[in-house]
Amino acid sequence: MLRTAVLVSGGGTNLQAILDAKAAGQIPHTEISLVIASNSTAYALERAKKAGVPGCVVQKEKGETIEAYGERLLNVLRENQIDLCVLAGFLTILPANVIKAYDHRILNIHPSLIPSFCGKGFYGLKVHEAALNYGVKVTGATVHFVNEIPDGGEIIAQKAVYIQDGDTPEILQRRVMEEAEWKLLPAALEQVAQKLTEESLTK
């Protein structure tokens, strides 16, 4: 079975969705082997602990080069024999050495329909604020592979969510999570894991 690491920075509701889907037998082609947090206060670490998944913190130190940070991260991934990574609200930009080592093996979830409201500076509530300010009637979530362009990698799956009268960024953020992110991310993870498993069997 493929070994997946989930990288987190905050509350970890997307991590929870993955853990719940795993427990429900919906992600048979991968095991959730490790949770890596970018800071020690991420509540996602508690969720990992409750689910019996090992957690650790790999934080970019002040003054550390991005490459050196990447090497540390790679060491943790290699020590744990990680095949696949999922960025689930991970706020540190991944260094090129990590992206290269895990080409088409790192998934990210972004809370808009890429290419709208994505790229540098579009994270958290800012994404939903931008969608509401623009006046779009449909937004959603996107799961994509990570490459060197922020939110620019190949799209794996998308799900649309309608804007409603009276939406605030907070209300919209919650609806995008409930209707799109929490379903889309586990499903996309299974889709990628299944494909990689089939490819490795035919090699």
Catalytic center residues: 110
109 near ligand GRF, judged by CB under 6 A: yes
- Among candidates 57, 14, 12, 56, which has minimal Cα distance to 33? 56
Q: How far is CA 175 from CA 21, 75, 127, in A?
A: 19, 37, 13
Helix (H, G, I), strand (E, B) or coil at 131: helix
186 near ligand GRF, judged by CB under 6 A: no
189 near ligand GRF, judged by CB under 6 A: no
37 pairs with which residues across the strands?
8, 57
88 near ligand GRF, judged by CB under 6 A: yes
Given the complex with ligand GRF, which of 40 and 75 has the nearer CB atom?
40
Site size for ligand GRF (CB under 6 A): 13
70 near ligand GRF, judged by CB under 6 A: no
Query: Locate tokens 């937004």: which residue?
Result: 139
CB of 199 to ligand GRF, least distance (A): 27
Helix (H, G, I), strand (E, B) or coil at 198: helix
Given the complex with ligand GRF, which of 39 and 191 has the nearer CB atom?
39
Cβ atoms of 159 and 148 closer than 8 Å: no
Residue 177 and residue 17: Cα distance in Å, rounded? 10
13 near ligand GRF, judged by CB under 6 A: yes
Interacting residues toward ligand GRF by CB under 6 A: 8, 10-15, 88-89, 109-111, 181
